[in-house]
Amino acid sequence: MNLTDPKTIKKVLENHSIFLSKKLGQNFLINEKSLEKIIENASLSKNDTVVEIGSGIGSLTIPLSRKVKKLITVEKDNKLIPLLEKNINKKNNITVINDDILDLNFFDKNNLAKPPFFKKKTNYKIIANIPYYITSPIIRKFLEKEHPPKFLLLMIQKEVAQRICSSPPNMSLLSVSVQFFAKPQILFDVSKSSFFPRPKVDSSVIKIIPFKESYSSVFCDCFFDVVRKGFSHPRKQIGKNLSLLDKESRKRIQLKKSEIIKKIKESNIDPKRRAETLSVKEWVILTKKLCLKK
């Protein structure tokens, strides 16, 4: 079966009474060159373990399985599972999981409701074609783990990819959140004409490589307290935003308004600046000033 031919896909879906969901962002990649470029940029080997998110009917799943030792493919839509399993023809190195990736447990053995994917610390790679609404949750789910993947190779909306990779003075909460944990890079763009059904916007394939060094969970909590409050009113100055910390944040940042302004200045940051102009490095310095007690 040609899984990159729109007519074939449409006929197969009709025969199985499957209607694609816009809510789930079900747009299948049908451009063979783009599929080849994704696999090429993943630098796969026969020793690799890959987690694919949003397998659909298997257009990327099948060529991925030929390159790796183990492929865990996750598909939320239970209606697609029989068709997916039929297309992959019970390949021995593919494990199909019918679940929401955000609900799955990878390493926590204490979560009996969702047993872990891996019995031990496994080196793995993430490859996914994901809709806008779960882009940020998926990235944070894997980057904030003690054992993150070697990298995430994601096909996402072009605009979102550009936001993730932005730099001052065009930073956003999303770009800071990703760049705090990893280095993102846009590899190539994919036209909306390369999908079935055709979406309204173009996409980009982005590679996110986690940093080897990480911060403690306590520092991460403080960091995101500061950053979220800093971006709470994007058009306001960071001095004013950070002076309005909520009760939960006050547990970690026990400073008065005047003290907060003083700490911002001590970080060599003008309190009149807006959050979008600060680099990740400046946010880290500011967090240390506001949260760490000497």
Q: Are residues 20 and 54 in contact, defined by beta-carbon separation less than 8 angstroms?
A: no
Claim to verify: residue 154 and residue 257 sit in the same structural domain: no
Claim to verify: residue 175 and residue 236 sit in the same structural domain: no
Indicate whether 32 belongs to any domain.
Answer: yes
Residue 59 burial (10 A CB sphere; 0-12, 13-18, 19+)? buried
Which of 163, 184, 210 marks a domain boundary?
210
pLDDT at 245 over 70: no
User: Which pLDDT score is estimated for 255?
Assistant: 78
User: Which pLDDT score is estimated for 91?
Assistant: 78
User: Which pLDDT score is estimated for 235?
Assistant: 87
Q: What is the pLDDT confidence band of residue 147, given thresholds at 50, 70 and 90?
A: confident
Indicate whether 263 belongs to any domain.
Answer: yes
User: Which pLDDT score is estimated for 249?
Assistant: 60
User: Which pLDDT score is estimated for 121?
Assistant: 73
Claim to verify: residue 23 and residue 45 sit in the same structural domain: yes
Indicate whether 1 belongs to any domain.
Answer: no
User: Which pLDDT score is estimated for 269?
Assistant: 96
Claim to verify: residue 23 and residue 65 sit in the same structural domain: yes
The span from the CA of 6 to the CA of 3, in Å, is 8
The span from the CA of 287 to the CA of 294, in Å, is 13
pLDDT at 37 over 90: yes
The three state secondary structure string of the chain is: CCCCCHHHHHHHHHHCCCCCCCCCCCCEECCHHHHHHHHHHCCCCCCCEEEEECCCCCCCHHHHHCCCCEEEEEECCCCCHHHHHHHHCCCCCEEEEECCHHHCCCCCCCCCCCCCCCCCCCCCEEEEECCHHHHHHHHHHHHCCCCCCCCEEEEEEHHHHHHHCCCCCCCCHHHHHHHHHEEEEEEEEECHHHEECCCCCCEEEEEEEECCCCCCHHHHHHHHHHHHHHCCCCCCCHHHHHCCCCHHHHCCCCCCHHHHHHHHHHCCCCCCCCHHHCCHHHHHHHHHHHHCCC
User: Which pLDDT score is estimated for 113?
Assistant: 57
Domains contained in the chain, number: 2
Claim to verify: residue 137 and residue 282 sit in the same structural domain: no
User: Which pLDDT score is estimated for 21?
Assistant: 84
Output the six-digit token pair for 202. Answer: 């173009």
Which of 210, 225, 254 marks a domain boundary?
210
User: Which pLDDT score is estimated for 151?
Assistant: 96
- How many percent of the chain have pLDDT more than 90? 61
Indicate whether 164 belongs to any domain.
Answer: yes
pLDDT at 22 over 90: no
Instruction: Give, in degrees to the nearest 5, the angle at Cα 55 between 180 and 110.
Output: 60
Residues 42-81 have pLDDT tens digits of 999 999 999 999 999 999 999 999 999 999 999 999 999 9
Higher per-residue confidence, 103 vs 34: 34
Indicate whether 144 belongs to any domain.
Answer: yes
Q: Are residues 177 and 138 in contact, defined by beta-carbon separation less than 8 angstroms?
A: no
Claim to verify: residue 129 and residue 236 sit in the same structural domain: no
User: Which pLDDT score is estimated for 234?
Assistant: 84
Claim to verify: residue 173 and residue 36 sit in the same structural domain: yes
Claim to verify: residue 148 and residue 191 sit in the same structural domain: yes
Residues 156-205 have pLDDT tens digits of 999 999 999 999 999 999 999 999 999 999 999 999 999 999 999 999 99
The span from the CA of 54 to the CA of 74, in Å, is 6
The span from the CA of 242 to the CA of 260, in Å, is 7
pLDDT at 266 over 90: yes
Enter the pTM of the model.
0.91
Q: Identify the CATH number of the domain in which residue 22 sits.
A: 3.40.50.150
Claim to verify: residue 227 and residue 81 sit in the same structural domain: no
User: Which pLDDT score is estimated for 110?
Assistant: 63
User: Which pLDDT score is estimated for 112?
Assistant: 57
Q: Are residues 142 and 166 in contact, defined by beta-carbon separation less than 8 angstroms?
A: no
Q: Identify the CATH number of the domain in which residue 276 sits.
A: 1.10.8.100
Indicate whether 62 belongs to any domain.
Answer: yes
User: Which pLDDT score is estimated for 130?
Assistant: 86
Which of 172, 193, 210 marks a domain boundary?
210
Claim to verify: residue 196 and residue 287 sit in the same structural domain: no
User: Which pLDDT score is estimated for 215?
Assistant: 87
Give the structural domain span for 253.
Answer: 217-291
Claim to verify: residue 202 and residue 221 sit in the same structural domain: no
Higher per-residue confidence, 109 vs 87: 87
Claim to verify: residue 153 and residue 194 sit in the same structural domain: yes
Q: What is the pLDDT confidence band of residue 246, given thresholds at 50, 70 and 90?
A: low
Highest mean pLDDT among 222-231, 241-250, 264-273: 264-273
